[in-house]
Amino acid sequence: MHDDRKLIEARLGRVLEERIRPALYPASVPLEVAAWVAPGEPVPVSEGLAAEHSPVSAGDQWGAPWGTTWFRVAGRVPEEWAGKTVEALLDLGFDERMPGFQCEALVHLPDGTPVKGLNPRNQWVRVGSPVAGGEEVLWHLEAASNPVILGDNPFRPTLLGEKETAGTDPLYRIARMDLAVLDETVWALIQDLEVLGELMHELPVEGARRWDLLRAVGRALDVIDLQDVGGTAAAAREQLEGVLTTPARPSAHRISAVGHAHIDSAWLWPLRETVRKVARTASNMTALIEDEPDFVFAMSQAQQFAWIKEHRPEVYAKVKKAVADGRFVPAGGMWVESDTNMPGSEAMARQFVHGKRFFIDEFGVDNDEAWLPDTFGFAAGLPQIIKAAGSKWLLTQKISWSQINKFPHHTFLWEGIDGTRIFTHFPPVDTYNCSMNGHEIAHAESNFRDKGSARHSLAPTGWGDGGGGTTREMVAKAARLRDLEGSAQVVWEPPAAFFAKAEAEYENPPVWVGELYLELHRATLTSQARTKQGNRRSEHLLHEAELWAATAAVRNGFAYPYEQLDRLWKTVLLHQFHDILPGSSIAWVHREAEKTYAAVAEELYGIIAGAQRALAGDAASGRELVFNGAPHTRGGVPAGGAAPSTTAPGHANLTQRSGGGYVLDNGLLRVEIDERGLVLSAYDLDSGRETVAPGQAANLLQLHPDFPNMWDAWDVDAFYRNTVTDLVDADELAVAADGPEAVAVRVVRSFGSSKATQILTLAAGEKRLDIDTEVDWHETEKFLKASFPVDLHADRYASETQFGHLFRPTHTNTSWEAAKFEACNHRFVHLEEPGWGVALVNDSTYGHDVTRTVRDDRGTTTTVRLSLLRAPRFPDPETDQGVHRFHYALVPGAEIGDAVREGYRSNLPERRVPGDAEVAPLVTVDHDAVVVTAVKLADDGSGDVVVRAYESRGGRAAARMTPGFATAGVVATDLLERTLPDAPGPGPRLEDGAVTLSLRPFELVTLRFSRTRA
């Protein structure tokens, strides 16, 4: 037989696009349209409905950037359409390539009831099927003219990301506002041909199945009358029936499709627009659930449900009903789909606490899965947190974006730093926006790396990022793929059903140990420094507010601010979303975040001050108390307690350095600062050990060009290192403080259009050089680092992560190690040779790099560099411009326990309060390796005291935890403060007024103490 394959394939493409699709709506009449432009921000629905509208028509321009236009659409169904299916086609000027990224609308009935959302892939509203003819129709469209930020020329600087700079010119043009007859047979034929045509292209040319499909498609095209597609569509479908009903082979891959609309809680739009996006999407999905009996939709992020509940209660009522029916699935059990690299220990725990509690309270759903399809890598402490929250599974897709190494598994056990293992799945479809395209389904099967041991994978299906969700076309295609020869089998089911099947079939899945590092988007650890500093400060202020409010409540009857703390936690958790905290959102989002963090801090300072005043006693006594919110004793003040202020032991001296500069010496550490303001020596006098590598200078600011190939705010590419400018010239070098409690030197440098001012301080009694850096930053596409070359040989180093630390190599033996050229730490990085180490601690930076070289003297220089500032121009062209302040400290001679202690110290400063009443800690622990991360009253308002702690050094720890109040009993709980039902062993017991703890490396424990009341 002659090979006519390409001829028929080309024929299918042209006939489908030029004849069959245009026949979908064979008759139409225009609607009457009027519009009203809301001034400023979005208005209540009642105001939009009642406003005075002006006539508009197809072809008219509308929509200033970030504006809202209310359209009134009215018409009458022609009598002659009786018995037909009729829809309104409402095209606001959509670009079908950009669902979720441009204009959208929510359709309302005249009484304000939401009907459904409109977006580029969902432009229809059903009138009736069938209609009687003569029906009057009237809808109101709340249309958002969101600008396209990431368009045909991506990553170009744009002023559209800030409302004040976006301009007022209209962005869109009304394309079509019609009533139309829908030919449902033609619609079904389109789905048939799309499924078969896409499948055909994925099958081998040598296989018989491909030719079976080709011949069937050819026969169908032969019977279609191109001048009467509607009249011949049924006959064409008959020609396809045989190949559409041939069942899949028994070994076919099985795909669990779950409806999805990954909605970034903020990204290329502000938070307020996400509130509307989730309402539009939820309206569409509840409507689709009503129309399609097999369809199941999953939505994560409790915050988004809460927004619907608050702002669109009519939509929320539909959501609650669909949840109760098992069709609309609250997924993931987190407040938002957060970044997981940068949130601190307690914040990561509270993501699950607040998310799961919302789902339990609202829907009775206790999630077993964590759902993070788009998060930029996963910290090694996360498995234990997931388990401690009562969950056991994790889904993500983002690791498939890695640039260098292909992850070896799709289904596996992920082991965290403490040994906890979580059953994890990466959908091999390699997208969280699956559209049921034949290529996607074929890719999921061919790409699946666990063949032979497993055969199930999951496909999140629907338009996402900006929302929109699953379409009726996707549901129709999935129905045809349910059991079709040549394809994977597709079935709609919730995430829990997939995970149960996948776990049951895979008896011994492979194990991946340590972080799930994304080999992309590394610069998100540095971009938008103010957002990151706001997060770090908020986390620690929340710790203090809970600690001192709980202490004051137990000691003095202080009114514990349950609702205020709950609200503030949720605000901070929201801003940990994976495009806010990472610094990859538009300018509007980050300017708003800066204001929000300032308001959060003000409230938290108020709670802290009020609680401390309640504890401090007589403010007029003339005495001063030092409150220590850190988890270690310092300056004689116990952790979580307060005591009178004392003078630091010892003294510090400052002298002139031969050749210029200064020498700072406190008997523990001697620091030499040369005439350039660089640290040439940090000599540990106890061990007789030099910290700074010979011939090198520490606290060296370095400037790199920074223009990645794409994803400007997200990425830093390895070639940035090829060019570096050392900032060694000092405008000023002067004494800033001269003992006896501390000595300090001030250094000022100018570079480009920017200036850096640093204060280097050595305090009496401390083996730590504190560095306070202020940068007035006005560079563009530059990367600023602070370098510390250390005379130390180590093949690995420790970085703090949630509830512990992980080790990364200092070498690049493999491509996996070389890919980690920028990584995350929390409060410290620690390097160590046996018997001696160095820590670099910080109060607000996350990104860093560590490299090693071997010198001519055969010694090793290991260089740690903190990432301070970037200046990408997309999506915010003013990223990080202005004044920034950082604190970091070099700690020579530090063991890992010292790194932990100094890290907390840098982030939890002492607070001095007038008073005469010493405050005993609410709880004490007799082992410094056991770190208390939370002391609070139980969330249920019972008055019980909840204490969370972990082993911080990576070893075993036996410790006694003693409550400083009358206690009736103690139980171990999960993160949600629920008694653990299956805890191994007898559980914690009070013996002699204390609880004995025996902790594994990095083990996390939450204890709930019930109080004895008079």
Active site amino acids: 374
Q: Which residue has the tokens 């011939």?
A: 695
How far apart CA 824 and CA 814 sit, in angstroms, is 20
Rama region for 840: left / alpha / beta (φ>0; ψ in -120 to 50; rest): beta
Going by C-alpha positions, the residue among 946, 933, 952 that lies closest to residue 543 is 933
Give the pair of three-digit tokens for residue 217. 């498609």
First to last CA, the chain: 96
How far apart CA 150 and CA 99 sit, in angstroms, is 12
How far apart CA 647 and CA 633 sit, in angstroms, is 15
User: Which backbone phi and psi does 877 adopt, to 5 degrees?
Assistant: -70, -10
How far apart CA 13 and CA 2 sit, in angstroms, is 21
Going by C-alpha positions, the residue among 460, 456, 439 that lies closest to residue 448 is 456
Pairing of strands 254-259, 456-461: parallel
How far apart CA 670 and CA 257 sit, in angstroms, is 64
Cα atoms in the Cβ-side hemisphere of radius 13 Å centred on 848: 31
Query: Amino acid letter at 334?
Result: M
> How does DSSP assign 504-558, residue by residue?
HH-SS--EEES-B--SS-GGGGTSSHHHHHHHHHHHHHHHHHHHHHHHHHHHH--
| C-alpha dihedral (236, 240, 245, 251), degrees to nearest 10 | -150
Q: Which residue has the tokens 């929109």?
A: 468
Reduced to 3 states (helix: H, G, I; strand: E, B; else coil), residue 186 is: helix
Give the pair of three-digit tokens for residue 443. 């890719």
User: Which backbone phi and psi does 120 adopt, to 5 degrees?
Assistant: -60, -25
How far apart CA 30 and CA 175 sit, in angstroms, is 11
Going by C-alpha positions, the residue among 944, 896, 932 that lies closest to residue 1005 is 932
Going by C-alpha positions, the residue among 744, 752, 747 that lies closest to residue 675 is 747
Identify whether the C-beta of residue 758 lies closer than 8 Å to the C-beta of residue 661.
Answer: no
Q: How far lies 554's CA from each of 370, 629, 971, in Å?
A: 35, 17, 19
Going by C-alpha positions, the residue among 380, 389, 394, 404 that lies closest to residue 349 is 389
Identify whether the C-beta of residue 590 lies closer than 8 Å to the C-beta of residue 530.
Answer: yes
How far apart CA 85 and CA 298 sit, in angstroms, is 29
